[in-house]
Amino acid sequence: MIGTAPCAPTRLRPAERLLRRVVAGPLAMEATNPRHEPVMLDQVLAVLAVRPGSVVVDGTVGLGGHSERLAEAAGADGTLVAFDWDEAMLAHAQRRLERLLLRKYWFCEDFRSIPEALEGLGLRADAILLDLGLNSAQVDDPLRGFSFLQEGPLDMRMDRGRGEPASSLLNRLALGEIEDILRDYGDERFARAIARKIVERRKLRPLRTTRDLVECVLEAVPPKARDPRIHPATRTFQAVRCAVTRELEGLEDALVRIGRCLKPEGRMAVLAYHSGEDRCAKRAMRRLAEEGFEELFRKPLLPEPEEVRRNPRSRSAKLRAVRRIGGGVE
Ligand SMILES: C[S@@+](CC[C@H](N)C(=O)[O-])C[C@H]1O[C@@H](n2cnc3c(N)ncnc32)[C@H](O)[C@@H]1O
């Protein structure tokens, strides 16, 4: 789940409280008990309708909140195939789920490799869940650099041993490229102005921290133009994160390929948290509907108001799902 909340915006606070300085150490995710409330849990369980003995694939296991309940429904004779490209998340989920199910397989990989992994295991799925984006534990860990509310290194990588951190990307790209990222991945109205601020600022000294990026946004977006319901840096952080993780690249095709791993009558559910993710989910499901799948509902399901009150990070969630009609195209 971005602000990067898991793609849900955070409420606006007075400018002087926008950033809390990080106290290194005990706040780091590895050292605390990370928490994440699974979004639309009841709806996901109802939609996936997991029965005892099912093969359940969780492509985004996170802290294992959804998986725990899906695994309980699959029972001791069920199978869980779990993916997360964040090693720390996968390790937490493994600990949480170790008492459940007989057969469990763990992949610290991009969920785009689900088809190959299932083929290797000789399995097809009864239920597949993709709960896209980040979870609260990742957002709330200042050392990951996903949060505009806490100062930390401007990193945003999923695997911190690989790839280019956000700071290096923003210090390297041309103005037009940064603008495209902010517009394409964040639908940011002030993409040009923010990109210009970033380029101006890095001439003085390279961007290093989340605070550096938040300051660029605050200088670029006029106070009168800000939406009082969300932090002005929400869209920028979401966009930069998508550029760093490349999480939208090939997503639509990946969802189609993953859907084809279902057994007849199997179901796939996708939870999206911003327009870029939901567009991919919607298009993938429309494509699957042309080849032997049924969209379970044409319009996405949304969280109940009570859930949004309890867990504001759920408020941008959209749930879509398909069922493979018995004997569909292989
Ligand atoms: C919203 S959280 C999932 C939370 C989980 N459903 C729970 O109840 O704890 C999304 C998780 O998916 C992971 N993730 C996002 N995109 C991924 C990808 N392409 N491949 C593998 N993992 C991914 C993130 O690291 C994060 O842990």
What pLDDT was estimated at residue 32? 53
Compute the distance from residue 134 Cα to the ligand 1 centre, in Å. Answer: 6
Domain ranges of the chain: 41-134+248-321, 152-245
CA atoms within 13 A on the CB side of 193: 13
CA 200 / ligand 1 centre spacing (Å): 35
Question: Quick check: 109 and 97 in contact, CB under 8 A?
Answer: no
Encode the chain (330 residues) as per-residue pLDDT tens digits: 222 222 222 233 333 233 332 222 223 344 356 778 899 999 999 999 999 999 999 999 999 999 999 999 999 999 999 999 999 899 999 999 988 877 999 999 999 999 999 999 999 999 999 999 988 888 889 999 999 999 999 999 987 778 899 999 999 999 999 999 999 999 999 999 999 999 999 999 999 999 999 999 999 999 998 888 889 999 999 999 999 999 999 999 999 999 999 999 999 999 999 999 999 999 999 999 999 999 999 999 999 999 999 998 899 999 999 999 985 444
SS3 for 86?
coil
CATH ID of 152-245, from 1.10.150.170, 3.30.70.20, 1.10.260.40, 1.10.150.530: 1.10.150.170
Give strand pairing partners of 114. none
Contact at 8 Å (CB) between 229 and 172? no
User: Which architecture, in CATH terms, is 41-134+248-321?
Assistant: 3-Layer(aba) Sandwich (3.40)
Atom number in ligand 1 closest to CA 135:
2
**pTM of the predicted protein model:** 0.85
Cα of 222 from ligand 1 centre, angstroms: 34
280 within 8 A of 255, measured Cβ to Cβ: yes
What pLDDT does residue 31 have? 38
Q: Which amino acid is at 47?
A: V
pLDDT of 227 reads 86
Tokens 């996901």 -> residue: 44
Residue nearest to atom 19 of ligand 1 (CA): 110
The Å distance, Cα 41 to ligand 1 centre, comes to 15
Task: Give me the pLDDT at residue 327, please.
Answer: 56
Give CB contacts under 8 A, 24+ apart, made by 198-206: 198/170, 199/175, 202/170, 202/171, 206/167, 206/171
Q: Is 63 in the pocket of ligand 1 (CB under 6 A)?
A: yes
Q: Compute the distance from residue 76 Cα to the ligand 1 centre, in Å.
A: 24
Q: Whose CA is nearest to atom 2 of ligand 1?
A: 135
Decide: 277 in ligand 1 pocket, CB within 6 A.
Answer: no
| Ligand 1 contact via 131 beta carbon (within 6 Å) | yes
What residues contact residue 93 under an 8 Å CB cut-off, 6+ apart? 61, 62, 63, 64, 67, 82, 84, 106
Q: Is 269 exposed, middle or buried (0-12, 13-18, 19+ CB in 10 A)?
A: buried
* Residue 322 to residue 265: CA distance in whole angstroms: 10
- Whether the CB of 39 sits within 6 Å of ligand 1: no
Residue 108 and residue 90 in contact, taking contact as beta carbons nearer than 8 Å: yes
Residue nearest to atom 18 of ligand 1 (CA): 110
Closest atom of ligand 1 to CA, residue 129: 6
Task: State whether the beta carbon of 313 lies less than 6 angstroms from ligand 1.
Answer: no
Q: What is the distance in A from the centroid of ligand 1 to the CA of 86?
A: 8
pLDDT at 23: 25
